[in-house]
Structure 1
Amino acid sequence: MLLNEKEEQFDDPLTVQINKYADRCINNSCIDPNLYDKFDVKRGLRDRNTGKGVLTGLTEIGDVHSYETIDGKVVPVEGKLFYRGIDVEDIVHGFLKENRFGFEEVTYLLLFGELPSEKRLANFNKVLAEYRTLPPSFVRDIIMKATSRDMMNLLARSVLSLYSWDENPDDTSIPNVLRQSLSLIARVPLISVYGYQAHRHYHHGDNLYIINPDVNLSTAENILRLLRPDSSYTELEAKILDLALVLHAEHGGGNNSTFTDHVVSSSGTDTYSAIAAALCSLKGPKHGGANIKVKHMFDHMKETINDWNDDDEIKNYLNALLEKRIFDQSGLIYGIGHAVYAISDPRAKLLKTFTKDLAAEKNRLDEFALYQNVERLAPEVISKAHKRQKSVGANVDFYSGFVYSMLGLPDGLYTPMFASARMAGWCAHRIEELINAGKIIRPAYKNVAKKAVYVPLDKR
């Protein structure tokens, strides 16, 4: 219902008028929630009865496996993640066994659909190294002159700005899109770190460090080199950051940001617009910001709990979270459970394996023990509170925030690190969308508004 004309004060301050307009928006935009059931609307493109996503496309890039059909029944199983049909656990164990970095190899696999030979991987690393630079004056004009309080905002804006430095930005042929993709995969980590350095300098008075990347180093090594004033890091630090990049590189076509990439790419637009849209999706706290929430939750937990090894005290804290009595009153235990994985997240298991070693190096094993205690106790607390049989486990965000904290990454770079990794998956999906030349993605929305008549202005 609109505000009464007599209540309207056009000499009100602008903020007061905006609030009144907002009330109108709310009052006239609320849809009866019962209508979603009546018309069988798959909210969030998920089937409420099965919990599965609505099938909207096909892909060969990534696959999440969490259920099996046995004797006609859908049974939850230990989670598996596949890149181009290969189990991620096998990929990780493969490059670690040979004492190599894995992100570049995974990027090659996602883009080209096959594992590279030693010679091809070496050449691919050289190609990425050549692209690991920014256009002249880009740091000064785009990153330093218009700093942002949110690094994801800066990333999206910077990616869109790269359009202006591209001599052939709108060509959607595969060779040109691949060129653009490789440049973005190489450049986004640089933009992330440089953007943070500029933010700290202009908003907090820190010294400004703009360090050039080293062509002989991996993506993970260069991130640490650029981030730290002395450019130093240990081998373990670089290896675990590389592992985090590998585990975040791809997660199927149905996650919000990758689906956004598909939707925008289906319109025929340029690469920079499609990837910027994916970045804007990832910026949302329901998608890319979960590991920050986990870290902040544990920061609060460490201040609240006296004995980090007291199961009863930890359970009381977790119950208080679920009852919306503490922390952010969301009713969530961040880092526990996943929309797709039913029992376990393979990424969390892999990351946890190396988290203990890093915690030992950083003298933070007591915190690692707290994480383990919460991981062990949270499923039981959730099961009792919600009276359900479904098992839940830790997801990748549970340990990634702790890892980033031990690496000295500031909170503002957590989601950009996610984006730096997922750039490989986004670019692979964009290329897949263009190659298969699908129709523009245009799902249906049913209009449930009542018909109304137009009323002349002098009679309203």
Structure 2
Amino acid sequence: MVVIKKLAEAAVQSSDIDKALYDKFNVKRGLRNADFTGVLVGLTNIGNVVGYEKDAEGNTIPVHGRLYYRGYEITDLTRGFQAEGRHGFEEISYLLLAGKLPTKEELAEFDAIIKVEQELPFSLSKNLILSLRGRNIMNMLARTVLGLYTLDKDAEDYSPENLVKQSISLIARFPVIVAYAYFAMRHSFQRRSMVIRHPRPDLSLAANFLYMLKGDKFTALEAEILDLALVLHAEHGGGNNSTFTTRVVSSAQTDTYSSIAAALGSLKGELHGGANMKVIGMMNDIKQNVKDWKDEAEVEAYLQKLLRKEGYDHSGKIYGIGHAIYTLSDPRCVLLKEKAGALAKEAGMEDEFNLYQAVERLAPEAFYKFKGGQRKTIAANVDFYSGFVYKCIGLPEELYTPIFAIARVPGWAAHRIEEVTSSSARIIRPAYKSVTNQRVYVPMQKR
């Protein structure tokens, strides 16, 4: 172990780069410009995220957030299928893949393919999920996705027809894989019962996921809000970490399963798909340390403690508040919050929901005071309420990030197809400048 420690110390020392060099060579750290806007690295027809505008002088003007799927505003899409009393994730998946909204007949045909593809091959579920169990469902999901490669005789076929076929199959199978992986994990490591339910052909993907987890013990409102959450997480432009990962790997002309497995590795990170878990942890900390949840002065005082790195994980962050692009509001958060109140009432969690609302309302002012009067436009993002919604539904925390993956696979698939089939596609290879001095080789006996 002494050798490992010495190697680790050497690795850290040799990895350190003077931050001043980034400014000297105009390096865009994190592919961000100096004003924190994203560096433009590509073009897409799929999604668009709007959180600010630029005036004639180039100044950033905060605006209420807008999210577009194939040119359709997310609020219009959700209002549309909700007004007709139906779930929308399958329709949104079709839109992201095809670039247009389906007719009633086209959606029915799409649904029929999904119903067939939901059934996992027995060898896959037995060997890669139920037998080869793991503690982390995201890792089990990535491993199973790679296993699907071995069962696909056309895995290396990059024709548009085959890419769409593979995409639909992954959209259909992700909820089943996640549900089975959860029960395998809890049976092995929590000594609880293993329950395997086959998906029902009469249920939507969202409702089927709840059925596989809870049997018939879920409400129509729970299924409706889970469907909404899937829709809101389905796509978020090409620059988010996991989608960009999909495009980078796909640009090398590798197979669909490898590119989606790589995206899962990205999404697993707590700075990306695991962010709602940080919100849950922070809110649990607030609930334990704030005696009167209705006392806004006490709530804000504890938010100041968080900012001073005196509470929760001592990071100085209020998780779920602020976003890289959105300024005045995150439309996904707005839409999810609209339904969260009714769900909280149904679940008997209204007091906790009110605490969430108080934190959302007080956090921007807490930031303002902490910064000494320096005003910065921030608002709650979708991660702030998504974990709370899943908690109201009764879903275990181990599933929060995998649910994000279930939702995002249509967006990943659409970006992969665009990357692979576009006439302007080329392998993505940005530059890294070496800042190491050249050295002369020293023979072993002289080192």
TM-score by length of 2: 0.98
Which residue in 1 is equivalent to 2:128? 142
Equivalent residue for 2:431, pick from 419, 436, 444 = 444
Residue type of the alignment partner of 1:443: P
Q: Secondary structure at the match of 1:137?
A: helix
Q: Secondary structure at the match of 2:45?
A: coil
Equivalent residue for 1:363, pick from 345, 348, 352 = 348
How far the C-alpha of 1:133 sits from its partner, in A, is 1.3
**Aligned counterparts of 1:186 and 1:34: Cα–Cα separation in 2:** 48
Equivalent residue for 1:113, pick from 94, 99, 102 = 99
CA RMSD of aligned residues (A): 0.9
* Native 8 Å contact 1:383 1:391 kept in 2: no
Which residue in 1 is equivalent to 2:178? 192
Matched, 1:354 2:327: no
- Structure 2: gaps (5+ residues): none
Which residue in 2 is equivalent to 1:234? 219
**Aligned counterparts of 1:115 and 1:29: Cα–Cα separation in 2:** 49
Matched, 1:213 2:199: yes
Which residue in 1 is equivalent to 2:154? 168
Residue type of the alignment partner of 1:127: I
**Aligned counterparts of 1:350 and 1:25: Cα–Cα separation in 2:** 46
Equivalent residue for 1:201, pick from 179, 183, 187 = 187
Q: Secondary structure at the match of 2:15?
A: coil
Aligned ranges 1:29-108 → 2 under 5 Å: 29-48=15-34, 50-72=35-57, 73-108=59-94
How far the C-alpha of 1:177 sits from its partner, in A, is 1.2
Matched, 1:316 2:323: no
Which residue in 2 is equivalent to 1:454? 441
* Native 8 Å contact 2:68 2:74 kept in 1: yes
Which residue in 1 is equivalent to 2:328? 343
**Aligned counterparts of 1:179 and 1:207: Cα–Cα separation in 2:** 35
Size of the aligned set, in residue pairs, is 444
Equivalent residue for 2:275, pick from 290, 303, 307 = 290
How far the C-alpha of 1:136 sits from its partner, in A, is 2.0
Deviations 1:27-70 (A, max 9, x none): 2221111111100100000102x211111100010000112233
Which residue in 1 is equivalent to 2:208? 222
**Aligned counterparts of 1:16 and 1:408: Cα–Cα separation in 2:** 46
Q: Secondary structure at the match of 1:28?
A: helix
- Structure 1: gaps (5+ residues): 1-14
Residue type of the alignment partner of 1:451: Q
* Native 8 Å contact 2:52 2:325 kept in 1: no
Which residue in 2 is equivalent to 1:3? none
**Aligned counterparts of 2:72 and 2:127: Cα–Cα separation in 1:** 42
Q: Secondary structure at the match of 1:199?
A: helix
* Native 8 Å contact 2:250 2:420 kept in 1: yes
How far the C-alpha of 1:322 sits from its partner, in A, is 0.6
Q: Secondary structure at the match of 1:327?
A: coil
* Native 8 Å contact 1:63 1:252 kept in 2: yes
Residue type of the alignment partner of 2:139: N
TM-score by length of 1: 0.95
